Each structure stands twice: as structure tokens, then as C-alpha cells.
Chains A and B, each alone.
Chain A
């Protein structure tokens, strides 16, 4: 083949390639136009859908519920975890899946900055910047707990601190960047910094020692955080109590850690506990005070005999060893209607005399006639603790009622060592609900009547596998069965309406009780309910008797 013909072939080929390429582009353009046309038609179809005729603000309202229930993942680790259980990427998107449904939904979501107020820093820098952009000037929540960003995120946070409403940090925050906390935070309402990790109620199980003593900057946020009302700190050494922010707080939580057995303090607890005693005097507006392993055990720390007055306190929670708790209770003046929950560690290590004197002091605040009384006492496998609540219900049987304010007086005993002593010390007169489980005591029916005899208001009893359950149920149910009590003796528990009994081994003594109803088998647990049936079960009863929001407001 000649050189000329070869050149001609190449040119022909190039020309053909050019034509093919051009044709391809034309087809792609045509396809793109078709896609655009399809999209326009689909948008018109959507416009006819009832949901598309909702106003943007209504749709945004619907999205706000999804945003609350399906938050955006806060860190890349969430993705890894989800991948391991083979979830699709789509399921990881949280509420923002709605932006993939149609154009209108995406437009609505992007046009409402409040929907983007929870800013995740943990996935990528690009993502964080995009979220900050979408949140606009709306007050944002920055939650960096359990998050380790892999980029320079502190300058980004510093830039947006001016419209940060909630700031949550943990031990991953670089201590070299503490200057961030000296910047003004004009809309900040909640600040949480958990320096150590671990469980709240078993601090001895989790300890992460800090390399150095760490001090929070003073003044915090340059004393320019006028809306700051809640501070939660765990594992800090030095807290700037002199900062004016503390005087305005309505909620303060300090979580330290348990002392070593030899009495020395662990490194990851707030070291100068004495400062807390002094600082309490400045908390004039505090409504919720939570002090876990952060109290001094020396009376001198409380500055003599002058009591600490917290006139607005409505909830007090203390976890500590007995001497510290007693000191606090001796020095504190709170409203009689305030809710308290007090947990004393190593209760079983004390002797009987200590327990008696402690109990009278501990429950003194509960004796006020206006105060509803709730007590839970349990001894765990590692440690024994005594918990006392007033004005609230907490416990495995009553988790549903946690957030709903005052409840009927409730006494719950779990594995109670020295239960006998407690029955004498506790103010049981007003108890209306009694729950007991896993006791080692073997009491007769008469023993139970003696111990519970003061509970004239008792209405409901829940019994979970106690050794003396049969005798307890017999003691109580004998009164139930007697429709016409002997006039000369009266009825010991005149208001008793129901007994609920659960046991792994069905007890013949209980089965013989009148009006017993055999109930369902539930997770291998033979559940027997003994109910007078003229009244409802205790928990539904409590549910119905919960005060309304208005009643709670008027009470407070």
C-alpha cells in the first residue's frame, strides 16, 4: 500500500471517529434532554400529590420529628459499626433521607436552617462545613462526645461558637486548645465536658488516668455567656468557681470518681473537693444539682455552721460515701418539696449503730408532710448501696415514670441487707406502693405484718422472687380475701387493692391464694398475678394518677 493511500485511510478513520464522537454527543444531549423532560413531568405529577400541597412550614414540621428521632450520624465510627451489621448506606443517613425523596422535599429541608442545627463534626471536614452552612445563623448544637475528628476542627468551632447553643466535649478535645473556652459564647445554654469516660454509678470499674492536672480557663467564656444555665463536668481537677457563669446556673452536674480504698483520691476525680462546698453557696439559682463522687468528707470544708441555702433547688442527686453525704445533708437547706435521690456507697460496711444514726439523718428531709417519699435500697454484687428518693420514682420496675415528676410514695427493696433496720428507720407511714425482690431474709407472715404494719396507706405490692414471698403474699392476701373484716380487729391494710407476684419457681403457697390468676409465660418466667381485681394493677394505677403537666407546674 502506498504512503498516500495509508494517509488517506488514516484521515478517513479520523473523520469517522469525529462523526461517531459527534453522534454520540448528540445522543447524550438528547438523553439528557429526555431526563430533564422526564424530571419536569415527574415534578408536575408530584405537584398533584396531596403531600406536595402541604405548605413548606408544615412539611418542615414533619421533618423536625424525623430529625429528632433519626439524627445524622455524628462520627465515621457509626458508619463502620453499621457496615459491620450490613446496613445499607441509605440507612445511615438518618433523617436526611427525606432530601432524596423529591425536589420539593429537598428544597424545603434546605430552606429551614433549624433542621440542620445538630452539627456533626465527626464524619469529614467537607460535611461539617456544609452542615454549618446550612444551619445559617440558627443556634446550633455541637456534640463532640465520643467523636474524634480527623481534621483541624477547632478553628471551625471557634468561628461558630458565637451561635452555638449546646456544646458537648469529651476527653478527645485537645488540651492545647483550651483558649477556645475563653471566647464569648453569647447564645450558649448548655456546656458539657466529660473528661474521663466510664459509667456513672460504677466509677471504680472505669478509670482513665490523666497525664496532667487540668484546669479549665478562668473566666469561662470570658464571663460572656449570659444564657448559660447548665454545666456538666466529669473528671476535672480545677473548676473556675469564681466565674460568674456559675451564679446564673440552673443545672450543675459534677461527676468525680470514688476514692481509693486507702482514702487517697483517684487522679481522675475533681481534686479540690473542698472548693465545691464553698462554691455551693454561690449557686443561688440552681434548680438541679447533681454531685457524684465530688463531696468533701471534712466538716471544715463547709466553713463552719452556716448552712448552705439553695432556695430554688427542685432536684438533688448525690452519690458518695456515707460521711460525705451526711455532711452535705447537715449543711444544706433545701425546699421541702424538692426531689432528692441519694445513693450511699458501701452501706454494708457500716455497723448497725452507724446505720441507725445515718438513717435518721438521711431520711429527715423526707419526713416533711408535704414530701412524697420514695426509697429504694439494693445491694449489688460488688458493693452495697442505699438509695433514697423523695418525690420521684426510679427503678427497674418503673423506668416509664422517670421523667414525669412526683408519684405516689414508693418503697422498693432489692437484696436488702439490714432490711430489718431499714423498716424501723424509714418513714413508711405514707407508702402506697411497695416492691421487694431477692431478699435473703426468711420472715414469717407475722414478721411481715409487724414490719409493714405502719403502712396504712399501702395500696399495691409488687413481689419479685424474694425468699419470703410466700409469707408476704399470705400476710397481705389474707386481708384481701376477707370481705367482711372482724369489727373488733379492723383491717391491717385497709386500702390494699392488688398484689403482683413474679417467681421463677411457682410457689404452692402462693397458688392457693384466693382470686389468683394464672397468667402468661413470659421469657421463661412463670408469672403469677394475685390481684384483688376490684382495682387495677399498680403500674397502670400509677400511670393514671400521675399529675398533669399543669398540676406539676402549679406544684412547682
Chain B
């Protein structure tokens, strides 16, 4: 279990007023990151607001590994300062995330890593990243047969014969 540590209210040299956050991953790695970078995460933003209310800054414990956390930080760093409609809490829900070329390359990872990233993005409430991951997973299984989908995502056919051939099943397809 990682220890909760206090963090100085220091700033990054040469970056003006950008403060530092300490993120602690599930494998107990401590990662220091600028607050600006992680401001895309509504979860982190809410945590920071909490710090401001109590005048105390703590490390933020996160339930995923440093490997996944570093990927998320890489994503947030790339889009630092960019406006993405999906991440705007005041904007109307945009529906589908647009295709972003950089995201496609960034998410060209193995299946399990992709699933970990989407879970982390969902936890951190980074909607743009959730959308891009969801699109990548959908692309992975699009046009495949059900058996191929099972193989790709490692699931078994757990329907009983009755469920597979019931009238309601026919209506699902």
C-alpha cells in the first residue's frame, strides 16, 4: 500500500505557475507531473479542488500500474493546452469522438494494454481518451464473426443451447 505523502506547493522551473502533483500507481511508483498536464482529467481536477479547500496537498493514489499511468500522462502531455470538445465539462455531449491520427498511433498497443488504458481513462474521467480507446477496440472487432470476436478478446461462448436458439435470441440477431 503506498504511503500518503505531502507535496510541496512548488512550481516547475521556467513554467510559471504550473504546480506539481504526485501520483502514486498501484505498483507504488511515485510519479511527479505538472498539474496543467493532468487538468484534462476531471478526477484529478476534483482532487486538486479538494486540496485547495483544505490547503493541504497530498499524493493521489491511483488503482493502476505505473506503466498504464505513464501512457495516460503521455496522452495528456501531447494534448496539453489543446481544446478537445469531449473533455469540456460545459459543452454538450459531442456523441462520437472524432478520429485523431495521433491517437491511432498512440493506441497501437496490444489488446490487454488497450483495455487497461481505457479503464484508467474512465477512472480518471478523460472522456476524449475513453472515446479514442473505445473506437480502437471497436475497430479491432469490426467486421469479425462472433467466433473471431471471442478469439480476439479471449471470451467463451457461455450461452446454453436454449439461449442461443430462443425467440428472443433470434430478435437479437
Contacts and interface: CB of A to CB of B under 8 A. Distances in A.
B85 interface: yes
A97 B149 contact: yes
B138 A62 contact: yes
Interface residues of B, number: 40
Interface in B120-138: 122, 130-131, 134-135, 137-138
A182 B134 CA distance: 41
Nearest to A124: B171
A406 B7 CA distance: 47
A36 B158 CA distance: 9
Interface string B140-173: 0111011001100111111111111000010111
B3 interface: no
A519 interface: no
A54 B155 contact: no
Nearest to A99: B172
A58 B130 contact: yes
Interface of A is mostly: helix
Contacts of B159: 39, 100, 102-103
Given A62-B137, A99-B172, A49 B153 contact: yes
Given A49-B154, A61-B130, A102-B158, A54 B119 contact: yes
B102 interface: no
A126 B135 CA distance: 32
A50 B154 contact: yes
Given A61-B134, A97-B149, A102 B118 contact: no
Contact of B122 (A36, A55, A549): A55
Interface stretch (A63-71, A368-376, A409-417): A63-71
Interface residues of A, number: 48
B96 interface: yes
Contacts of A45: 156, 158
Contacts of B161: 35
Contacts of A91: 145
A99 to B, nearest CB: 4
B55 interface: no
A110 B172 contact: yes
A65 B172 CA distance: 18
Interface string A47-58: 001111111011
A106 B168 CA distance: 11
A96 B168 CA distance: 13
A102 B156 contact: yes
B160 A36 contact: yes
Interface in A98-154: 98-106, 109-110, 126-127, 130
Nearest to A131: B171
A106 B155 contact: no
8 contacts: A40-B158, A62-B134, A66-B138, A69-B142, A96-B173, A97-B173, A101-B150, A127-B171
Interface of A: 35-36, 38-40, 42-43, 45-46, 49-55, 57-58, 61-66, 68-70, 90-91, 93, 96-106, 109-110, 126-127, 130, 549-550
Interface of B: 83, 85, 96, 111-112, 115-116, 118-119, 122, 130-131, 134-135, 137-139, 141-143, 145-146, 149-150, 153-164, 169, 171-173
Given A62-B137, A110-B172, 6 more contacts: A39-B160, A52-B155, A65-B139, A66-B138, A90-B173, A96-B173
**3 tightest Cβ-Cβ pairs between the two chains A and B:** A65-B138, A42-B158, A99-B172
